[in-house]
Structure 1
Amino acid sequence: MDERLQYAPCGYVSITHEGIVIDVNQTFLAIMGYSRANLVDNHFESIMSTANKLIFHTYFYPFINLNGHVEEMFLSLKDHKGLAIPFLLNGRRFEKEGVEIIDCILMQMGKRIDYEVEIRTAKRQIEEAYWEKDQALVKLEQLHMEIEQKQQELMELNANLVKLSVTDKLTGLKNRRFFEEKLEDQMILYSQTGQPFSLYIVDIDHFKKVNDTWGHPMGDSVLAKLAEVLQSHVRKGDIVARYGGEEFVLILPNMDAAESKIRAEELRLTVASSTWETGQITVSIGIATFIQMDSDITLLKKADLALYASKENGRNRVTHFTDMNK
C-alpha cells in the first residue's frame, strides 16, 4: 500500500465481495486499536454488532451490487475494547486481475454531530429490536428473508386493493364506492350549475330463479353480459356501476325526467331482445331525477321506490318516481 494512503486522514479497508478483509491502512488500525493480524483475512463483519450487521446486509451489499458504489453510509464498528466507534463509509467496487474487490473509506464521526432524524430513528429501532434477540442470531437471516417476502406480498396486495377499490371484479364495472363518489360530484355540479341529472336502479327480474335453475356460474355469466349491455347503451360521461347482487345503478348527467324515461325504455327493450343462454332475461327499472331538495339518500330512496313499483306492477317495466302518484 502506498505510504501516503497508510497514514491518510481517514480509515481505509479493502475487502472481497464476500466481506473478507484483504488490506487495511494504519490510520484505521490506530483508531480501532487493532493490528493487521487482527483484521486481515478475517470477515469485516467480525467487528460489527448484530444491528450493524443487519444494516450492512440491508444497505451496503444491495447498493454495491446495483450501483457499484455506496456513499455516506452510517455504521458503527467495535474497537479492540468492544466500544462502538461511529463512521461514515464510502465504498466502491472494482475488478483487479479478474477478482472483485471493494475499497472502503471510513471517516470517523464526532460525538456531537446531529444525525438526520430518519437515520437516528432507524438505528435506534434496529438496535433495540435486535439487541434483545442477540441469542437468536442463527434465526436472523431467516427472519430477514421472511420480512422481504411479506413486504413483496404486501406490495402486490396493495396494488390489487387499489384496483379493486373502484372496480367490481365479476362484471368489470365500477363498484358501489365509485358510484357514491360520483353521485356526490354530480350533486355538487347541480348546486353550481342547476344541470339536471337522473338515476336508474336496474334489477334483473327473477334472478333467483336463474341461479336455482342454472346454477351460480350461469348467474354470474348473466350479470357479466348485462354489464356489457348497459355499457353499450349509455352515453359518454354516464356512470354505470354494480350496486350489489343483481342490482345496477346508472348516473345520467344532463338528463331530465322526460328523457330519462325514454332512454330507460330503450334500455329495457334492448335487454329483453338480447340473446341469453338461460332464455329471455328482463329487467325492471326505477328512475329518480334530482331536484333541489334531494340528497343522495332521498334520491336513492326515490329510485328504489320506483323500482319496487315496477316489480309490483308485473316486472319488465320502467317507472319514474314522479309517475307513481299518477
Structure 2
Amino acid sequence: MDEQLNHAPGGFLTLSEDGIILSSNQTLLEELNYSLPQIIGQHINKIFTKSAQLFYQLYFVPLIKVNKKVDEMYLSLESKNKKEIPVLLNAQAKVQQNETVIECVLIPIRKREEFENALLVAKKEAEAALMEKNKAVSDLEIALRSLEEKQAELLKVNELNQKYKIETKRELELARKIQETTLTDSISNEYIHIEAFYKASHELSGDIYGIYQIDKHRYGIIILDVMGHGISSSLITMSVQSLFQRLISREGNPEIVIKELDHHLHSLFQNNEEAWHYCTVIYLLIDTKEKKIDFINAGHPPAFLQSSKGIQELNSSSPPIGTFEGVQFKTTTIPYQRGSRLLLYTDGVTDPFGFNHLKPLLQDNKTKPMHDLKEMIIQSMNNTELAYHQSDDKCFLLIDLH
C-alpha cells in the first residue's frame, strides 16, 4: 500500500464483493488495535458492532450493488478491546483484474474534544501574545483569528450533532407509529372476544402479534418475540409480520405457518452469522364450531387455557424459530369448553417474577370481566417496573371463548 495512504488521517480498507477484507491502512489498524494478519481474510463484520452488522447487510450491500458507491453512511466500528468507534463511511466499487473490489474510507467522528483543546491552546497563545511587550500586533491578530475559526468550527459541529439527534428521534418516532399502525384490531362477536395490550420498551419493539379471522368459525392468533430490543429486533418483526399475515389469512395451518416463518429467518441470515436473530413464537388456530384449538409453541412462554376444570398450560414442544435447520414442528390439538379463557404473553409481561405469578392471578379472578382482568395484569406490570426499574417490550392477548 502507498506510504502516504497507509498513514493517511483516516481509515482505508478494501473489500471483496462478499465483504471479505483484502487490505487496510495502518491508521485504521491502530484505531482498531488489530494487526494486519488478524483482519485480512476476515469478513467486515469482525470490526462492526452488532447493529452495524445488520445495517451493513440491509443497506450497504444493496446500495453498493445498485449505485456502485455509498456516501456518508453512519456506522459504528468495534475495536479489539470492544471499544465503539463512530465513523462516517464512503465507499465505491471498482473492477480490478476482472474482480469487483470495494474501496472504503472511514472517518472517525470524535472531533468535539479536539476542537475544545484547540480553543484552549489558541486562548493561551493569545494571552501570551498580550503579555509580551515586543510581540507584534499582527501575531495577536493571527491568534485571535485562529480562535474565531476554532469557535466557528465547534459551533458547526454542535449544530450538526443537534440536527442529527433531532432527525434520528423524528425517524424513530415515525417508525414506531408505523409499527403500531400495522398491529391488527381486536375481535368481538358471538363466538369469541379478543383484547390486546402492546407496549415497547424503547421507540421500537421486538414483540409483535396478529389476530386474523380466517372464516366464520376459524381464527388465527400469533404472538412473537424477537431476541433483543430496539432497531434490529423491530426490523425483524416488520419483516416477518407481512409473511405471517399472508400465511394465516390464506389457510392458517399451524405447521405451514411456523415452518415458513422458520425458513424465512434462516434465509434472512444464512450468510451472516454475526447478525443472526431468533424468535420465540406461539400460534393458535381456534375453531369455534368444533370447539378445539390447534397450536404450536416454539420456545415461547406457555399460554394458559382457563376453564371449569382449572388452568391448562400450552407448553413449548420445539426450539425457537431460526435456531436449527430441519426442525419438525408438530401441531397439538386440545378441546375447549364454552366460557373458557386464554392468555398469551411475551416474557416482558412476567419478568422478573417468572410466568407462575399469572396463574394465581387468573385463578383468583376467573369470574371477572375481561376488561377488569386486563387492567389487573397491566397494574402488575407497572408495579414490577417501579420495584425493579426493569424495562422490556410487553405484549399480551386475552381471549374469551363463548
Please classify the TM superposition score into its range, dividing by the shorter chain length. 0.3 to 0.5
Task: Please give the TM-score of this superposition, normalised by the length of structure 1.
Answer: 0.39
Task: Please give the TM-score of this superposition, normalised by the length of structure 2.
Answer: 0.32
The structure with the largest helix share of the pair is 1
The structure with the largest strand share of the pair is 2
